[in-house]
Every structure is written in C-alpha cells, then in structure tokens.
C-alpha cells in the first residue's frame, strides 16, 4: 500500500470511528476494526486485556530491545454538536478527545513498520481502552501487560488543541498532572425556609466549604508547584421553600507533584471536618479515580526530542517544542510510566475546539504527521538502544 492510499484509508477509518464512538471498556466495535486492520497487515493481534484492549507485536529482523507504542480508543459521554459529515450517530457520546485520531495514527505506523521491519528489536502496538476515567492502562498492567509483552520503554502521543497543527511537543519531567476525583456528602437537618433556625443547613455549609477550599492552593501550596482544586457539581434540595437535609459536591484535585497531590488530598479531608463542625453538619469526603503524575524520563525524552527535530529538518511543519509547558489535565499513561521509563508527547491539533468540548474534532491533516512520528521514533529508538547494548 502506498502512503497516499494509506492516509486516505486511515482518514476514512477515523471518520468511521468518530461516527461510532464507544465508551470506556465498551470499545467492542472499535477493537474489531483495529484487529481487522492489523490482521490484514499480517499481525496476530491479541485481545482481552482490560476487556477490549488489543496488542499486536512486530519482531525486527534480529533480537534487540522491546518497546510499547500506545494509543487510547475510548470516547466520552458528551453529546456532539458538530455539522461535519462524520458526526456521532449515538446521542450522548462522542470522540471529544481525539482517541479516534490516536488509534488510526498508530495503525498507520503499524502498517509502515510491517512493510519494512526494524533491523533489531520488538515493537508492541497497544490499543488501550478506558483512558477516560477508567484507568484502562492500570487495568491492562494488572492483567499482565508487561508480563505478556515485555518492554523496556513506553511511548504515548496525544493531540493538543492550541498548538499549531502538526507541531510536535514534549518536555522532560512532569508533563501531565496527577489527580483525584472527590465526592463530598453533607448531611444536616432540613427545615422550612421560613424557619431556618430549626435547620442545620447543608447548603450554607457547602457554600462555605467551596469558598474555603480555594485556600488549599492559594495559601497552603507552594506557588512554584502547579496545582488546582475545582468543585464542578453542587446538588441540593428539590424545591424552593425547604432547606434540604443534605447536599453533595464533586470535583477534582490535581498537581504536577506527587507529594503536593497527597497533601492536598489530606488537607481537603481536614478542611471538611473543620467546616462541618462550624456548620453543625456532617461531611464525608470520598476519593476515586486516582491518576498518577505523568512523568517523562530523561533518556527516552532526549531521543524523542532528537526525532522531533530531525522531522523538522526538511519540512514546513511548525518547529518542535521540546520544552512545552505542562498541563494540569490528567492521563492514565502515567501508570505505564510508573512501571517503565518512557515519554508522553503531543501533536498540535491547530485552533480547534478544546478537548472534551461538544464541537471538538480531530484534525485529519495531522494523521500523516503522527504516523511518521511513530515510525521514525520506533526505528530510531531501537537502533540507538541496540548500539548502546552492543557497546556495553
């Protein structure tokens, strides 16, 4: 298959995946299409890790180091508001984070590498489910990813709105925040709105807590360490003349430093206890969906930077940014980087809508750029590590 035909096919596949999004751990149709594509290339894809995950392996001509290249596959519970021809056919879910694009870019790299396998080494192509809140990477690891598919390094790539289309970006060290999601239940005593003195008002206590939570970052966190505490939902009551018995808050805490994240987690519990006593109510704080800080290791990130700069040597694409600012968004690829050194990189999506927005769409013009990045990274990394091993 020539490269133009490959990109035409990949774009059509991307549109198909976008029109048929599947939520975390429900990516059955998506996995079917991934396996069909890989099988036609001569791979023997393995299914079943984290329910819907797919792994395909390519062996080089001779033994050498092994790496994982990872793409996420799941969509989000967001209702799409777009007018393009491949709009989601399923109300209430869409590919609002570009995982359809991530999937086809890695498939394209698998196609090119299968045409001419690397001289040395092994490449595991990992198509991961459940990134969006399901910690699918952790599930795959717990179910034996690194045991069944040994690798010395892992690599991920995510599109990034706001970066110029096709720009490649990376940084050494923390690039994405670790985070916890929280739910706070406030239990008080209800009363008629005309008799507030008979209540223990959970709405008032909750409002005071929301205000007080801002000091966790503003006054109790080192300003040189990026962190955020956000309350995103506040539910209470069912009518306008009754003070309810309880209220519920939910949100997230995030930080680029593991110790800061754990301290915020503990301090929120302490703060809620104090505000509960002041308001005469009970508050319980429950945490769920922890994601670790995504930390790029120095050695593989240096190699990624070299590949990015080399890719810009003879093209008109925007120059690579090898010190891109980190983000306080979270990414479960951090679980893989806790197990193996590696690098999480970005590819610009141009001036598109933001990730998770109902009018977001992946930029098809960067598919080929992403495919080339994956192909060159795999070849270059395996060649570099093989030479290192021969010298040592």
Q: Please, which pLDDT band fits residue 216 given cuts at 50, 70 and 90?
A: very high
**Average of pLDDT values for 5-24?**
95
Q: What is the pLDDT of residue 2?
A: 63
Residue 192 to residue 359: CA distance in whole angstroms: 43
Average model confidence (pLDDT) across the chain: 96
Q: Return the higher-pLDDT residue of 315 and 162.
A: 162
Burial class (CB in 10 A: 0-12, 13-18, 19+), 332: buried
Q: Please, which pLDDT band fits residue 391 given cuts at 50, 70 and 90?
A: low
**Average of pLDDT values for 105-111?**
97
Q: What is the pLDDT of residue 389?
A: 73
Q: Return the higher-pLDDT residue of 225 and 314.
A: 225
Q: Please, which pLDDT band fits residue 260 given cuts at 50, 70 and 90?
A: very high
Residue 184 to residue 284: CA distance in whole angstroms: 6
Q: Please, which pLDDT band fits residue 3 given cuts at 50, 70 and 90?
A: low
Q: What is the pLDDT of residue 324?
A: 98
pLDDT at 1 over 80: no
Measured distance between the N- and C-terminal CA atoms of the chain, rounded to whole angstroms: 39
The answer for residues whose C-beta is within 8 angstroms of residue 5's C-beta and 6 or more apart is none
Q: Given phi > 0 = left and psi -120 to 50 = alpha, else beta, which region is 121?
A: left
Q: What is the pLDDT of residue 206?
A: 98
pTM of the predicted model over 0.85 = yes
How does pLDDT run across 141-186, given as a tens digit for each residue?
999 999 999 999 999 999 999 999 999 999 999 999 999 999 999 9
Using DSSP bridges, classify how beta strands 327-330 and 173-187 pair: parallel, antiparallel or unpaired: parallel
Find tokens 């997230």 and name the residue: 252
Q: What is the pLDDT of residue 183?
A: 98
**Average of pLDDT values for 221-248?**
97
The answer for residues whose C-beta is within 8 angstroms of residue 294's C-beta and 6 or more apart is 174, 175, 176, 177, 178, 330, 331, 333, 334, 337, 344
Residue 60 to residue 48: CA distance in whole angstroms: 25
**Average of pLDDT values for 185-191?**
98
Q: What is the pLDDT of residue 315?
A: 79
pLDDT above 90 coverage of the chain, percent: 95
Q: Please, which pLDDT band fits residue 5 given cuts at 50, 70 and 90?
A: low
Q: Please, which pLDDT band fits residue 386 given cuts at 50, 70 and 90?
A: confident
How does pLDDT run across 35-92, given as a tens digit for each residue?
999 999 999 999 999 999 999 999 999 999 999 999 999 999 999 999 999 999 999 9
């Amino acid at each position: 298959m020539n490269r133009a035909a490959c990109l035409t096919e990949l774009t059509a596949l991307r549109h198909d995946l976008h029109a048929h999004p599947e939520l975390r751990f429900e990516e059955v149709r998506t996995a079917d299409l991934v396996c069909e594509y890989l099988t036609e290339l001569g791979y023997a894809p393995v299914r079943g890790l984290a329910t819907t995950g797919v792994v395909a392996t390519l062996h080089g001509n001779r033994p050498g180091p092994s790496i994982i290249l990872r793409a996420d596959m799941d969509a989000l519970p967001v209702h799409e508001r777009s007018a393009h021809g491949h709009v989601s056919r399923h109300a209430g879910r869409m590919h609002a984070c570009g995982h359809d694009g991530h999937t086809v870019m890695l498939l394209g790299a698998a196609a090119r590498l299968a045409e001419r396998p690397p001289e040395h080494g092994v490449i595991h192509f990992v198509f991961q489910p459940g990134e969006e809140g399901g910690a699918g990477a952790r599930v795959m690891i717990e179910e034996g990813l690194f045991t069944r598919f040994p690798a010395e390094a892992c690599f991920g790539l995510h599109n990034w709105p706001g970066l110029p289309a096709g720009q490649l970006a990376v940084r050494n060290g923390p690039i994405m925040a670790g985070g916890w999601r929280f739910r706070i239940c406030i239990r008080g005593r209800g009363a008629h709105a005309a008799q507030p003195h008979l209540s223990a008002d959970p709405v008032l206590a909750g409002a005071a807590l929301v205000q007080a939570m801002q000091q966790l970052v503003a006054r109790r966190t080192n300003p040189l360490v990026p962190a955020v505490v956000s309350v995103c939902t506040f539910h209470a009551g069912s009518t306008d003349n009754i003070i309810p018995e309880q209220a519920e808050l939910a949100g997230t805490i995030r930080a680029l430093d593991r110790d800061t994240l754990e301290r915020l987690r503990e301090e929120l519990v302490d703060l809620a206890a104090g505000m509960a006593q002041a308001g005469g109510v009970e508050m319980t704080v429950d945490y769920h969906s922890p994601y670790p800080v995504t930390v790029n290791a120095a050695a593989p990130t240096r190699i990624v930077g070299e590949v990015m700069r080399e890719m810009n040597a003879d093209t008109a694409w925007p120059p690579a940014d090898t010190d891109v600012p980190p983000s306080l968004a979270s990414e479960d690829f951090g679980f893989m980087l806790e197990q193996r050194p590696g690098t999480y990189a970005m590819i610009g999506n141009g001036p598109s809508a933001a990730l998770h927005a109902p009018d977001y769409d992946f930029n098809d013009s960067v598919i080929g750029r992403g495919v080339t990045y994956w192909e060159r990274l795999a070849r270059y990394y395996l060649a570099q590590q093989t030479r290192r091993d021969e010298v040592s």
